[in-house]
Amino acid sequence: MGRITLDKVTKRFGDAEVIPPLDLTIEDGEFVVFVGPSGCGKSTLLRLIAGLEDVSGGEIRIDGTAATELPPAKRGLAMVFQSYALYPHMSVRKNIAFPMKMAGMPKEEQERRIDNAAKVLNLTDYLDRRPGQLSGGQRQRVAIGRAIVREPAAFLFDEPLSNLDAALRVGMRLEISELHNRLETTMIYVTHDQVEAMTMADKIVVLRAGKIEQVGTPLELYRTPRNKFVAGFIGSPTMNLIEGPEAQAMDAHTIGIRPEHLDVSSTDGRWRGTVGVAEHLGSDTFFHVHDTGLAEMITVRADGEVQLRHGDTVYLTPQDGKLHRFDEQGLRIA
């Protein structure tokens, strides 16, 4: 079980209020991703849940019991740190065994769980090595192994993949998702990378300056962003935001259209512009379109076969029902 409830949780460092009062419920078995720009308080929020920081106000409940005053070890949560935080002088086996040793678990049970974790994480051949002799991805797996063997109520991950190279990151992303499917344990995952958030989450929590901007499934956030910030943060390449007469004509302060929701034509369409840089990915091509009179630059996602050259004239047409409208405060107009 791992249902975590935050009730008006607040955190201040001195005078700086990093987390204003915040309510959030994380259901048992959910994969929740906290996403937001660097410095928005994601780690702080995670550390509050873990018990590594004291809350300045509010209540944290884990499975219905008050956990606000509990020390980290008593909350039944396991954390995987960005730096992995492995114990460098212990072998992989001892690293994984450490939480069980601290809990005074019988040796046979320890061995059984270590073997299990090693099998799941492909670490069997490395059990007698030191962390210093492992690659980044292997260290990451050891850190996860150390978390698994405790059979925690929930796993907390703080940007666990940010020290890995791109290819490894994709692989580990899959492994963590698979692990979640197998264990069905609650996982809270912090990242600043919206791709990680979109690909892994059951539920995404978008944070800005300590405040929750929106909570929802990846597709909800993609389809109906509640405000301009979420609209700009979720999706890659980012949504085109257009202000001015074109927006006013639609009774909005700002309108938004995702690059993939613009149809491209070289003969006719709603907006006319000039092609700038083209980024060819093979399957798709991203065109930067200038001189549309809408915004500095409009990004368009077109099929990889579309042939347009620098300086060509293009016509863009937004697809039906894919336009997002926002008012002066940046809030979505339904």
Ligand X SMILES: Nc1ncnc2c1ncn2[C@@H]1O[C@H](COP(=O)(O)OP(=O)(O)O)[C@@H](O)[C@H]1O
Residues that bind another protein (CB under 8 A): 50-52, 71-73, 77-79, 81-83, 85-90, 98-99, 102-103, 146, 150
Contact 4, 64 (CB under 8 A): no
Smallest gap from Cβ 212 to ligand X, in A, equals 13
Residue 191 binds to Mg ion (criterion: CB under 5 A): no
Question: Which one, 113 or 203, has the nearer CB to ligand X?
Answer: 203
- CA nearest 139: which of 179, 82, 101? 82
- Cα separation, 110 vs 149, in Å, equals 8
Can residue 99 be called a binding residue for ligand X (CB under 6 A)? no
**Which CB atom, from 18 or from 49, has the smaller least distance to ligand X?**
18
Binding of ligand X at residue 50 (CB under 6 A)?
A: no
Report d(CA 229, CA 211) in Å as an integer.
12
Partner whose binding site includes residue 298, from ligand X, Mg ion, another protein, none (CB under 5 to 8 Å by kind): none
Question: What is the closest distance, in whole angstroms, from the C-beta atom of residue 85 to another protein in the complex?
Answer: 4
Return the number of the residue (22 or 117) whose C-beta is nearest ligand X.
22
Q: How far apart are CA 16 and CA 135, in angstroms?
A: 39
Residue 41 makes contact with ligand X by CB under 6 A: yes
Name the binder of 98 from ligand X, another protein, Mg ion, none, CB < 5-8 A by kind: another protein
Between residues 4 and 79, which has the closer beta carbon with respect to another protein? 79
**Do 48 and 97 form a contact (C-beta atoms < 8 A)?**
no
Look at residues 54, 52, 66, 75 and name the one whose alpha carbon lies nearest to residue 6. Answer: 66
* 50 interacts with, out of Mg ion, ligand X, another protein, none, CB within 5 to 8 A per kind: another protein
CA–CA distance, 181 with 185 (Å, rounded to integer): 8
Asked whether the beta carbons of 81 and 95 are under 8 A apart, the reply is no
Residue 43 in the binding site for ligand X (CB under 6 A): yes
Residue of this chain nearest to ligand X (CB atom): 43
> CB of residue 301 vs ligand X: minimum separation in angstroms?
29
d(CA 95, CA 34): 27
Closest CA to 42 of 216, 233, 207: 207
| Cβ-contact 44, 66 below 8 angstroms | no
Q: Which residue, 96 or 172, has its beta carbon nearer to another protein?
A: 96
Residues at the site binding ligand X, with contacts judged by CB under 6 A: 13, 18, 36, 38-44
